[in-house]
Structure 1
Amino acid sequence: MSIAFLAVIAALLYLAAAGLQLASALQHSGSLSRSLIVIGVFALGCHAYLTWHNIYGPNGINFGFFRIFSLIFLGINCACLLALIKRPLQNLLIILFPLSAVAVLTATLGPDTAAGEQKIPLGVAVHIGSSVVAYSILTLAAIQAALLAAQDAQLRRRQMGGFLSVLPPLQLMESMLFELIWVGFMGLTLSIGTGVIFMDDIFAQHLVHKTVLSIAAWMLFAVLLCGRHWLGWRSQTAVRLTVTGFSVLMLAFLGSKLVLELVLERG
């Protein structure tokens, strides 16, 4: 089986799983379909193999824009499926799985934007791994925040029909949001810490914007968690700071890679 064909299979599996969950949500079913789990796990397995094939080569690691984009969605999906063991996050899959299908196809069939494969020291690999974990969890938090904002707006208008009516109660949605933020914040702390320790110069010209924006995102999430603990900040404030922090973090990583590799054509 060719890699391109496997990428198409993975994308179709993701879309099928998303369709199943969307149909379940429209039928106001709060249960998790076994078929969804089976199809999702198969899609995730194909995605993991494709990510390994696309990133790891005989001469080192290739962290091109589209390939790292696919790796992040792999991490997001793994985190979401693991969270389903204890938390009802299945409606996030309606958004995540179609985006994952796009990520798999572009990483496999799209252009290679990196300058080439490179050897990665262990410390730098830990930094990259913790960064992917942090981005993955905080992406889930941002999507959760968007759903919470929509749910809160409908409650204020006293209109709870359609897709949002199958979401968990607002208080539980808020609790799940802060659980995701805590885990993502710890991952981001580890990412910045290992960057300071293992990177040669995190304030070098090609890294300074990424470093400054990552620290700015870390500070936003720290303020949010402190405000939650000491001042009891609730949904609206949490949503605004979560989306702002996530946007800054994505600009730090994906934005810088996008400019360097696709606009300036540098690896």
Structure 2
Amino acid sequence: MLVALIALITTVLYFVGGALLMQRLKLTAAGEPPGSRGLPRLFTLWGAAIVLHAFVLYAFLFGENADSLGVFTVVSLTAWVIAAFLFAWSFRHPIHVLGIVLLPFAGVTVALDMALSGVGPATPMDPSLRAHTLLALIAFSLFTIAAIQAAVLAIQTHMLQNHRPGGLIRALPPLSLMDTLLFHIIGWGFIFLTAALATGLFVLEDIFAQHLLQKVVFALIAWVMFAVLLFGRFQFGWRGRKAAHWTLAGFVWLFIAYIGSRMILARLLGV
């Protein structure tokens, strides 16, 4: 009962944080830059949501079912890592506007985890698998932030090229900084994805029996796409729309690998 109440509060805090960010964006669009006004309240709510979300996850990961990890708990844990990373980076770079999408998403995952916990398969969690899973979740979280930023960067580039600077443009950092941050995030995500794939070699026993072949293939495709993107960046200076499109394409393959394939197997094959 206590966990359910905390999960409800967490969900509300995430949505309130997203609403505050939307309000700031509307003020900026109306020509009234909010500056730092309201940011302390936003970050207080955001930080509280992360702490309470961690408590809910702790209850699921180290409670009665501590030896297994369900589908919706994986999604909720991923959302928590995303929210925590973005929260930390927002103190150094003005990218908190990305929380307009990510904070409500985190709130939804908390609610789904509470409502649907125990639905779908649970993955045994021995120490080596825990390490592999943690690396994979960090990689996926970083690439999720990168994908959101790539989408915003594509919109930002399009609006500037068409001489239509809207409220979103005013609320965002300069295009050059957004581009640099994108590849900074992709670089770290690529490191963690490589580590996750490498540790997977020691975790996987029989990819066919464990129904992981499609997951491995899709993750490798994503790895190749991000490797090509990073090579294009350093060798040919890829940026803007091209970088955004490659980022989003790679993220789609990664999403299918980590989330889509698992849910398909859970719903269609019952494994």
TM-score normalised by the chain length of structure 1? 0.94
Q: Match of 1:158?
A: 163
Q: Whole-Å Cα distance in 1 between the matches of residues 61 and 44 of structure 2?
A: 26
- Matching residue's letter, 1:8: L
Q: Does 1:62 align with 2:71?
A: no
Residue 226, structure 1, aligned to residue 231, structure 2? yes
* Counterpart position of 1:83: 89
2:69 is paired with a residue whose SS is: coil
1:262: Cα distance to partner?
2.4
What's the counterpart of residue 244 of structure 1?
A: 249
Q: State the partner residue of 1:92.
A: 98
Q: More displaced, 76-85 or 182-191? A: 76-85
Within 2, Cα distance between the matches of 1:152 and 1:186?
27
Superposed displacement of residue 203, structure 1: 5.7
- Over 3 Å counting, the alpha-carbon distance change for 1:204 and 1:236 in structure 2 is farther
SS at match of 1:139: helix
1:145 is matched with which residue? Answer: 150
Choose the corresponding residue for 1:74, options 76, 80, 89: 80
Matched residue of 1:206: which SS?
coil
- Counterparts of 1:1-267 in structure 2 under 5 Å? 2-28=2-28, 29-31=34-36, 33-58=39-64, 60-116=66-122, 118=124, 120-202=125-207, 204=209, 206-266=211-271
Counterpart residue identity of residue 173, structure 1:
M
- Aligned equivalents of 2:266, 2:212: Cα separation in 1: 14
Is the alpha carbon distance of 1:59 and 1:101 closer, same or farther for their aligned partners in structure 2, counting shifts above 3 Å? Answer: closer
- Cα distance, 1:190–1:116 mapped onto 2, change above 3 Å: closer
CA-to-partner distance for each residue in 1:148-202, whole Å, 9 max, x for gaps?
Answer: 0010110111001223321111111101100010010001001000001232234
Match of 2:31 in 1: none
Q: In 2, Cα distance between the equivalents of 1:22 and 1:79?
A: 20
Unaligned stretches of 5+ residues in structure 1: none
Instruction: Work out the number of aligned pairs and report it.
Output: 265
Q: Which moved more, 1:31-40 or 1:173-182?
A: 31-40
Identity, % of aligned pairs? 34
Moved more, 131-140 or 255-264: 255-264
Aligned mates of 1:155, 1:16 — CA distance in 2: 30
The alignment's TM-score, normalised by the length of structure 2, stands at 0.92
Q: Which amino acid aligns with 2:134?
A: G
Q: Is the 8 A contact 2:70 2:123 kept in 1?
A: no
For residues 12 and 56 of structure 1, do their structure 2 counterparts lie closer, same or farther at Cα, with a shift above 3 Å needed? same
User: What is the deviation of 1:117?
Assistant: 6.9
CA RMSD of aligned residues (A): 1.7
Question: Cα distance, 1:205 vs. partner?
Answer: 6.0
Question: Structure 1 segments of 4 or more deviating over 6 A?
Answer: none
- Quick one: distance in 2 between partners of 1:240 and 1:203? 32
Hey, what's the Cα distance between the residues in 2 that align with 1:117 and 1:253? 13
The more displaced of 255-264 and 200-209 is: 200-209
CA–CA distance in structure 2, aligned partners of residues 117 and 216 of structure 1: 24
Give the distance between the partners of 1:55 and 1:39, measured in 2 at CA: 24
Mind listing any 5+ residue stretches in structure 2 that lack a counterpart? 29-33
